Structure 1
Amino acid sequence: MSSMRKSDKQLHVAMFPWLAFGHILPFFELAKVLAHKGQVRITFISTPGNINRLPKIPRHIEPFITLVSLPFLHEHKASLPENGESTMDVPIDKAAELIMAYEGLQESLAQLLKSSAPNWILFDFIGHWIPPLAKSLNIPCAFFCIFPALDTCFFHIPKSHLGNPASFRTKIEDFFGPPKWVPFPSNIGLKFHEVKKIFGGPHFAQNDHEDTILTCDLFVYRSCTEFESEWLNLVGELHNKPVIPVGVIPPTLQVRDADEEDKNPMWANIKSWLDKQRHGSVVYVAFGSEIKIPQEDITEMALGLELSGFPFFWVIRKQQLSLTDLPNGFEDRTKDRGIVCKDWVPQLKILAHESVGAYFTHCGAGSILEGLNFGRVLVTLPFYVDQSLHARVLEEKKVGVEIPRNEQDGSFTRTSVAKSLMLAMVDEEGSIYRDKAKEMGLLFSDSHIQERYIENFIEYLQNYKLKN
């Protein structure tokens, strides 16, 4: 990475992510990369509890990042669990209250923006009220999407199609394939159980209105043309907006305290175990920090891992096991070839280890980028609707193997888990997946390519003139 340098044209960018660490951390990584360039000063905004849980800012970029805490209004705080300031802390039945608390920060954010006068504000998908607020303050705003551009193309009706009955999706089967405004061949779509889980009964009405977030001045994606050029081009055409990919922000660009991680005794133990495994033989299993996995799914995942015969390293968050248990005797039966870890792990270091051959994942946007950065085949088991789309596009690009589910109820079996792992790891038929994943890894991990995305982004922000 190029060394940090002071610039007379230093930008001031405010960032206000949604209150989920799967969103906060990508915003924070982008903030650190921009700060490292020395051309951008960041005001990073969240609630006190979330700010306190952020990783330590490396000392050399501390002067370029200001952390600002905006506390919830009392009436909103009272409706949430104690210290409930992120989706990780709030049960699903309280999600609406968390959104209301986030929206309740509008006046505090307005006062902050007035006093600090940033050149730009980057906001998240929940912040539909931020574009009009920014416009009232004459501040350009950018929608920073941590998801691939294909999500925007699939879920958001373009302005040109608003009010057009032929484009309206009113039935479950309307979501089984790409929307009518996608002009190129694609099999992207949802399954019956995925649509029904989100929308309920057999018929529903998709709101026929313009999304407020799409009234921003700029779309920014944590993505790259090497991965989804057709979708990045399409989202700009559909919504008549400039689109800037900032790249995947790979570990080669991320600003972190490597010495501190290397000295962590947990990593020493994990590395010792990984060093004893054969090259490309280990399945790394992790489903993020917020996925609530049903008991029957945990059981089939575990027994599928056991049936596959591969060595594995499975990270299970404590909250994922709060209502579930591993199958009786599973850990004893697999103790000679598998590890179940119920604590934080240095995921990037594990994925980088040469013994890891595949990444068994829920297909969250960050997990995809991290796995492909190291050229690992992705074995996918999506749980949320956006993850399902990601799994389909990975299949299309031959870098991911999706575990088959029953299309009506979403169930899957231990046998399907084992067969999918075999296909990804060793079967001759799966060699194309392994080859394509390695090719994608070379592009994702190329620091020169990824540096150019960041530099182009900074240049655009510097040269932008607010349209009245």
Structure 2
Amino acid sequence: MADTADDKLHIVMFPWLAFGHMIPYLELTKHFGRKGHRVSFLSTPRNIDRLPGIPLDLVALVEYVKIPLPAVENLPETAEATSDLPYDKIQYLKIAHDKLLDPVAKFLKSSDADWIIYDFAAYWIGPIARELSIKSAQFSIFFASSLAFMGPTWSLMGGDYRKAPEDYTVAPKWIPFQTSLAFRLFEIKRIFDSFDGNASGVTDIYRFGAGQESADLIMVRSSYEVQPEWLKLLGDLIPKPVLPVGQLPPGQGDYGHSKETDEWQWINEWLDSKERGSVVYIAFGTESKPTQVELTQIALGLEKSRLPFFWVLKTQLGSSDVDRVELPDGFMERVKGRGLVWTSWAPQLKVLAHDSVGGFLSHCGGTSVVEAMSLGKPLIMFPLLSDQALNARLLEEKQMGHPILRNESDGSFTSDSVAQSLRLVMVEEEGKVYREKVKEMRSAYGNMDIQNRYIDNLLNHLKANRPVAKIHST
């Protein structure tokens, strides 16, 4: 039975100020719009200007809402996303983000919103929404496995028995089945401020917990086709409705860019010149970069691997990043013709979809994982921050990716281990299991019929639980 006008929702989306978060939120926004629902996507002006334009078929239903980011001490004026900042300055972005409370509340008060869907950072949204009789949902872009590792709501809000970095190097007590899901010691040390504090005065882990506690619904980027056991566990750990939204594979034509036509033509011609499945694609996302020592070993490992490669290289995270990284002396000359280093924006989806690309050396951010899996490309894994290490463990368990081997205490590795991992996944008989497993799982990640079923199920819940009465004022 078709929806009537009264069945249509007005949904507000409010992601954290990171493109790895905004892009999945935008994918979900487009799904809502294509089902006929109205969506207001909130972010800061500079972020919205850098996001893809709203598809023409959705301009009547989807709107970008620009909310200026307040100035705060130690935050560069032009920095509105994590990609504009080195890691140690992201804490100041959280301070500015928390100052969005009043303008977001003002927008909600003047809107006719039914639901607001918010990210981990905006732990203060739930009480505001409840006061305005707007339903709220916390949507985590983390996979169910990572959320379950983080723990029940009570543990996130200060009750966790894990207090030291070493405590996070084994699976927690509440996971009832065998798993290797855990951080290496060097991985958790890099991000331990998420657990023990930062300049905002609120830990990331508390933000997750407080946001869960006040939400009417928990949404997670996962599917039963990929993580059935983890979704069941997450439902047991969180005492409120937990709904998977699917993997959110992107539409191939959805990512526009003003320079895409010329850039893609050049890149495509270069990829066309390489043999099928021979090229390694390398990218570490918008929010992190290897250290100089790590970058040097990766570059030398690529050289030793003798494989063709296309490397999207980010040398600096915003103007305040003083640790600019550089390729080794003579590297470009030695790999000339075999490797291409690209230092500006590149259309990742189109590169991954090209027949010549046979593998992806990745940081294992959630969106990159979904894009690679939905296009049948196995991963060579080099996690850097956040949940990336947990994603890597999960993919290794499922034999869909192979890590670059590193010292578990300090994270050190050699160019030889880079070359060995690359060749294993790309060409060696022993690595055939990774190439075949990814092809086997491609449909679970990229099938749009499966994805649509998750969206329909989610929307049925949102409609069935929409506010009975709302308070709106201007």
SS at match of 2:438: helix
| Partner residue, 2:191 | 198
| Partner residue, 1:313 | 310
Counterpart CA distance in 2 for 1:445 and 1:312 is 25
Counterpart CA distance in 1 for 2:41 and 2:156 is 36
Do the aligned residues in 2 keep the contact of 1:261 with 1:346 (CA within 8 Å)? no
1:323 CA drift (Å): 1.2
- Structure 1 residues 210-249: aligned runs within 5 Å: 211-215=209-213, 216-249=215-248
Counterpart CA distance in 1 for 2:466 and 2:346 is 44
- Structure 1 residues 335-414: aligned runs within 5 Å: 335-414=336-415
Q: Output the amino acid matched with 2:97.
A: Y
Do the aligned residues in 2 keep the contact of 1:58 with 1:257 (CA within 8 Å)? no
| Partner residue, 2:200 | none
Q: Output the amino acid matched with 1:136.
A: E
Higher relative contact order (CA 8 A, sep 6+): 2
- Structure 1 residues 240-259: aligned runs within 5 Å: 240-252=239-251, 256=254
Indicate which of 301, 306, 309 corresponds to 1:304.
301
Counterpart CA distance in 1 for 2:4 and 2:27 is 20
Pair 1:249–1:209, CA change in 2 (3 A): closer
Do the aligned residues in 1 keep the contact of 2:359 with 2:379 (CA within 8 Å)? yes
Spell out, residue by residue over 1:337-365, the C-alpha distance to the aligned partner (whole angstroms, 9 max, x if none): 11111111111011011111110001111
Do the aligned residues in 1 keep the contact of 2:352 with 2:375 (CA within 8 Å)? yes
Pair 1:181–1:337, CA change in 2 (3 A): same
Counterpart CA distance in 1 for 2:90 and 2:260 is 38
Do the aligned residues in 1 keep the contact of 2:379 with 2:400 (CA within 8 Å)? yes
Counterpart CA distance in 2 for 1:161 and 1:196 is 18
Do the aligned residues in 2 keep the contact of 1:160 with 1:238 (CA within 8 Å)? no
- Structure 1 residues 98-113: aligned runs within 5 Å: 98-113=93-108
Do the aligned residues in 2 keep the contact of 1:283 with 1:359 (CA within 8 Å)? yes
Do the aligned residues in 1 keep the contact of 2:366 with 2:388 (CA within 8 Å)? yes
Q: Output the amino acid matched with 1:224.
A: S
State the TM-score, normalized to the length of structure 2.
0.89
Indicate which of 55, 64, 80 corresponds to 2:61.
64
Pair 1:172–1:467, CA change in 2 (3 A): farther
State the TM-score, normalized to the length of structure 1.
0.90
SS at match of 2:7: coil
| Partner residue, 1:92 | 87
1:445 CA drift (Å): 2.0
| Partner residue, 2:472 | none
Identity rate, percent: 44
| Partner residue, 1:127 | 122
Spell out, residue by residue over 1:299-335, the C-alpha distance to the aligned partner (whole angstroms, 9 max, x if none): 1001101111111100112526971111111111111
| Partner residue, 1:173 | 166
| Partner residue, 1:292 | 289
Spell out, residue by residue over 1:103-137, the C-alpha distance to the aligned partner (whole angstroms, 9 max, x if none): 11111111111110311000001111111221222
1:7 CA drift (Å): 4.5
SS at match of 2:405: coil
Q: Output the amino acid matched with 2:100.
A: L
Pair 1:207–1:64, CA change in 2 (3 A): closer
- Structure 1 residues 14-163: aligned runs within 5 Å: 14-38=12-36, 40-73=37-70, 76-77=71-72, 79-159=74-154
Counterpart CA distance in 1 for 2:268 and 2:210 is 47
Counterpart CA distance in 1 for 2:328 and 2:441 is 36
Spell out, residue by residue over 1:149-207, the C-alpha distance to the aligned partner (whole angstroms, 9 max, x if none): 1121112344489887xx6113433212211001111111111222333338xx99998
Q: Output the amino acid matched with 1:98.
A: L
Q: Output the amino acid matched with 1:305.
A: L
Do the aligned residues in 1 keep the contact of 2:377 with 2:435 (CA within 8 Å)? yes
Do the aligned residues in 2 keep the contact of 1:169 with 1:206 (CA within 8 Å)? no
Q: Output the amino acid matched with 1:37.
A: K
Cα RMSD of the aligned pairs, angstroms, is: 2.8
SS at match of 1:372: helix
Asked if 1:450 is matched to 2:422, the reply is no
Counterpart CA distance in 2 for 1:145 and 1:161 is 14
Say how many residue pairs are matched: 456
Counterpart CA distance in 1 for 2:94 and 2:109 is 23
Do the aligned residues in 2 keep the contact of 1:375 with 1:438 (CA within 8 Å)? yes
Pair 1:161–1:124, CA change in 2 (3 A): closer
Pair 1:284–1:208, CA change in 2 (3 A): closer
Pair 1:207–1:135, CA change in 2 (3 A): same
Spell out, residue by residue over 1:199-241, the C-alpha distance to the aligned partner (whole angstroms, 9 max, x if none): 38xx999989992111111111222111111111211110122
